[in-house]
């Protein structure tokens, strides 16, 4: 490994590890939120809330205009070329349109709330309308806060996103819902407590970015030139971002509309595990984005390929244990939410677990398309997968319910990753496959799939399931230490104290 390679992997390890802590907290917090809401509210209220919050998240993506990836591409490039004033102007070029569009989107959501409420929860339409209108007020707040956090990530600062968005906001949501649920089951107050933490998140993000903005120096092209290059890339991403968010949330809304809010509640709980794997992968990929952007700006293709392979390996190491556990131990997972969830959601969990195993092994292919400037292709593939999901969902949900929704989403996930993988392989001559990926797949399967399959064949006692999962985690951690060179975990030595790091340097990193 060259010195440059070691530095890139160490930077990826430092940022990814910090982001991973935040992702872990967010995953646990979002899971806990579903558990809290499911325990404190009737099934129909729970389903209406999940559908309404999904509408909020989808429309929030409309307001953000895809600027998260645009800033992730252009801010690091300007900084790498020592144009910090251009980086600051890029943030303003992104921020003003987001503020305008998010306000307009909020007004539209407020106006059509009666129609949406009747569609997703006819039996509780009035309460759902009140919840939707409260959520609409927070749309611009959420959008502007996310833009500012994206700008800090473009500066290579992962800590603000971790502390503000990954830890602070989710914990604030849970605390608020726990408090209000003790006094009332009013859906509108449930929605308010979920949305309220976006306000302090915005204030904190503005303070952090303000400090970075004051450091901007040097010459800069005219704003019109900066805006032109930024929006030529980001305009594709704006539509793609909406499609991507809809891809993750539209199935909940469709189930509420085509089946019932009760089924929407069960489906949301049954699919909540996906967030654990996605957030762990995103924790690595968010750090990968500015690194790859710099490497591409310098046309350092060997390092781009290495970063791509290592990110894939680490994503598998983090996400596959989650998906293997849920695929094999689906009954134990669903029991957390209650008996009514276990009986209805097992097939849904298994279908989506298998689909996410395939998606993770393909690597961060969409990120590679975006960072190489192919946002148009990313948009095309995202729209195609969304069309698959909506089309199959409309066909299957009325007859098959939860299983139909799961099949539609699984087909869309696989289609999107296959298309993106093929493009990265053909146009950039890169592949996620490597000896290190083989080691990662073998390690996760050996530690989780094999023992849990044995337990599934022998017993259905929840306590034994949970004990087997805990033991698998312990064995997995020990095995990762043994094979750390094969899966590029020696780059994590950058996180260790100097004395430990020097001892660890005796081990040679294997070819990945």
Q: Which residues of 4-33 are buried (b: 16+ CB within 10 A; e: fewer)?
A: ebeebbbbbbbbbbbbbbbbbbbbbbbbbb
Phi-psi domain of 66 (left: phi exceeds 0; alpha: psi -120 through 50; beta: other): left
Lowest mean pLDDT among 133-137, 233-237, 365-369: 233-237
User: What tokens does 231 get?
Assistant: 């929006």
Q: Are 266 and 341 in contact (CB under 8 A)?
A: yes
The reported pLDDT for the residue numbered 141 is 97
Q: Who has greater pLDDT, 338 or 97?
A: 97
For 228-241, the pLDDT digits (tens) are 888 888 887 788 77
Domain ranges for the chain: 41-258
Q: Is 221 helix (H, G, I), strand (E, B) or coil?
A: coil
Residue 148 has pLDDT above 90, yes or no: yes
Split at pLDDT 50, 70, 90, the class of 218 is: low
Residue 492 has pLDDT above 80, yes or no: no
Cβ neighbors of 317 (< 8 A, separation 6 or more) are 440, 443, 444, 480, 487
The reported pLDDT for the residue numbered 219 is 63
How far, in Å, CA of 207 to CA of 186, rounded? 34
Mean per-residue pLDDT for 236-258?
86
The reported pLDDT for the residue numbered 500 is 34
Lowest mean pLDDT among 65-69, 185-189, 430-434, 507-511: 507-511
How far, in Å, CA of 314 to CA of 288, rounded? 11
The reported pLDDT for the residue numbered 506 is 34
Q: Who has greater pLDDT, 351 or 345?
A: 351
User: What tokens does 161 get?
Assistant: 């996103």
Q: Who has greater pLDDT, 445 or 298?
A: 445
The reported pLDDT for the residue numbered 428 is 83
Mean per-residue pLDDT for 72-83?
78
Share of the chain above pLDDT 70, in %: 88
DSSP 1: -
Q: Who has greater pLDDT, 190 or 497?
A: 190
How far, in Å, CA of 280 to CA of 16, rounded? 9
Cβ neighbors of 75 (< 8 A, separation 6 or more) are 87, 90, 91, 151, 154, 155, 290
For 442-486, the pLDDT digits (tens) are 999 999 999 999 888 777 777 888 899 999 999 999 999 999 889
């Amino acid at each position: 490994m060259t010195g440059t390679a070691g530095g890139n992997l160490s930077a990826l390890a430092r940022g990814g590890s910090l982001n991973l802590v935040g992702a872990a907290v967010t995953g646990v917090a979002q899971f806990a939120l579903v558990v809290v809401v499911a325990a404190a509210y009737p099934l129909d209220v729970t389903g209406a809330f999940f559908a309404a919050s999904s509408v909020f998240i989808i429309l929030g993506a409309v307001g953000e205009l895809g600027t998260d990836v645009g800033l992730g591409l252009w801010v690091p490039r300007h900084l790498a070329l020592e144009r910090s004033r251009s980086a600051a102007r890029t943030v303003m070029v992104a921020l003003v349109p987001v503020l305008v569009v998010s306000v307009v989107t909020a007004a539209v959501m407020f106006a059509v709330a009666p129609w949406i409420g009747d569609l997703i929860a006819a039996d509780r339409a009035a309460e759902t309308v009140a919840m939707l209108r409260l959520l609409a007020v927070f749309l611009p707040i959420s959008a502007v806060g996310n833009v500012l956090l994206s700008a800090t990530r473009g500066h290579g600062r992962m800590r603000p996103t971790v502390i503000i968005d990954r830890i602070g906001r989710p914990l604030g949501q849970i605390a608020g819902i726990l408090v209000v649920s003790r006094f009332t089951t009013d859906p509108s107050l449930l929605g308010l407590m979920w949305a309220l933490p976006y306000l302090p998140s915005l204030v904190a993000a503005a303070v952090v970015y303000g400090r970075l903005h004051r450091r901007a120096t040097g010459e800069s092209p005219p704003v019109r030139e900066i805006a032109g290059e930024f929006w030529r890339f980001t305009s594709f991403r704006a539509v793609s971002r909406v499609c991507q968010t809809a891809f993750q949330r539209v199935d909940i809304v469709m189930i509420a509309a085509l089946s019932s809010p009760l089924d929407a509640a069960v489906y949301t709980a049954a699919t909540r595990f996906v967030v654990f794997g996605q957030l762990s992968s995103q924790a690595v990929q968010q750090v990968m984005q500015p690194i790859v952007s710099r490497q591409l700006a310098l046309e350092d293709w060997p390092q781009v390929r290495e970063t791509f392979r290592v990110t894939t390996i680490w994503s598998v190491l983090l996400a596959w244990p989650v998906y293997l556990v849920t695929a094999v131990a689906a009954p134990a997972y669903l029991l957390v939410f209650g008996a009514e969830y276990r009986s209805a959601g097992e097939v849904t969990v298994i279908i989506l677990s298998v689909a996410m195993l395939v998606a993770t092994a393909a690597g961060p292919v969409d990120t590679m398309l975006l960072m190489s400037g192919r946002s148009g292709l990313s948009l095309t593939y995202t729209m195609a997968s969304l069309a698959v999901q909506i089309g199959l969902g409309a066909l299957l949900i009325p007859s098959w319910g939860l299983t139909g929704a799961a099949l539609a989403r699984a087909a869309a996930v696989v289609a999107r990753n296959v298309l993106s993988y093929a493009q990265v392989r053909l146009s950039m001559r890169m592949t996620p496959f490597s000896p290190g990926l083989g080691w990662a797949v073998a390690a996760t399967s050996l530690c989780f799939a094999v023992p849990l399959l044995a337990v599934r064949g022998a017993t259905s006692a929840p306590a034994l399931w949970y004990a087997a999962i805990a033991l698998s985690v312990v064995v997995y951690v020990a095995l990762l230490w043994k094979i750390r060179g094969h899966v590029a975990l020696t780059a994590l030595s950058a996180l260790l104290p100097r004395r430990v790091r020097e001892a660890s340097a005796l081990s040679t990193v294997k070819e990945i």
